[in-house]
Chains A and B, each alone.
Chain A
């Protein structure tokens, strides 16, 4: 007998439908083989499925069982097909009625028959919605995937319950996602004392989505400022939140329907694969993709090896990263806002008011050359973060994130009406803005002073556009250009 149950495969962040076909043939010799580009984990499904069937009280099939995962040219990985293989086997061997195949199922089976969650539940729920079928997942995965609007997601704690759900005789179990998977509490700007200049730069960066580089001595508060950025960014829309959750899902991370833009801060010792994605087997999205629609924070930029910085260039420029694999390639989104922090020199105290710098000129040169030139040019804005004196530390707290966010939102609304985020404005968009005579003149004078390249000139105009948006001005005036130029200074 033959039976087919739908399931899904992850290709990058896309989820493709997969048919799990099982044929039970007559044979004196029992066999169980899986075909259709399975990896090792899929091939091992045989042992898990047979044990789970036995421990759940079903009959272990005799004769020749062939499992085909179609389309055959799509690489399939992991233990996600245990559940659909078990369901199709039960139907093919006549233990369960054919109605039970009208589902999309995804889940790993424990040897005792319990269903375990796997990557890609959210995508499976979306595929199931397209096919107008119910989707069966592990109970905790069902909790998260249930956020897909208009979906029919059911949770099944074990194989017996899964069969019940598939036949429509049992409602299933749905578990709310466990609290450990919630994003950490995010920092608030009210916690940052003093730092009026850096706070202003952060506000402008937030309003226009500009890449920001902060430089200053250790302990000045660079990390805290960066961590507060998501708190002043506009919340993700329903659609964006789902998109982010899909990427996180592909990375095996849960993101419990949060509308706060993600904040990722990989350590400077991270591998290239961890940073931009890849890894063995099924390619996983890296930090640049889990930071999609959020903030990627790189601390100690001066310590980051250049191969890592080079790997970051494509995702920064293109907003996505393509990872090539034998026979196919996958594409992960990476439209993030880059925030980086660095000490001005290896010891960190160059130009400090109190502590003398102990670095030699050669050491400083070598340190700066790490992130100089093309990479430094990726930042629309650069700002010095000074160490606080006692007055500022004991002074009143600054504005809260909520107050700053209000201004950021107003500036973002203007940008939505204009059509795109200021960071993404193309040269022709910038040419089309109206500039006051004073603004044009100040821009012209900067060409020589900053040795501005055409790209640099565009970056200044983008930031000036944002400063004007924050001020609610239609045209770009001299003040806006002056402020934008100040963020252009080399550190």
Chain B
């Protein structure tokens, strides 16, 4: 029961991290490469999960992915079942809910790199995509690492969205944080203590990785 929830939590966090990084890196690059209302608006929307109650996001995802909307009906038609109360649904919710934890460090990391390096690469004949992979991404490595750890930890620790969207199905949608809630409801404080300690251990280990790395030294 406990190991089932642990395995599910790790699977959810890993899947979310991989998907979110693939989406957030190009998006953060675009945001950090200029100014304008489109960029500001995108950044604001992506930061919403920081300030909204998770239940709001969970609620709208539950409704939006359900049979009441066109998108929801299309998904049901394609998958044969609604996304809500399934692992895939949890991944969708987690990706949205953890997005700011990927976007924010990445945008800050890309913006911290002086434009002169990319200019130098372009003057040597390197296209913008080429110089992104050769110069920008390696120089932003600490930011990428922060994004990975923060998204992973945040997904491990999320509760509201999972409860609204996933319910509480052991082996399918019951993550560690939900399992902890269950254990407390049942009055099983010993098990609850184990689960809570496990979640704390995750958080400490992950944050230690982020803070143990010295920031990239700036070269004149």
Q: Do A and B bind each other?
A: no
| Residues in chain B within 8 A of chain A (CB atoms) | none
| Residues in chain A within 8 A of chain B (CB atoms) | none
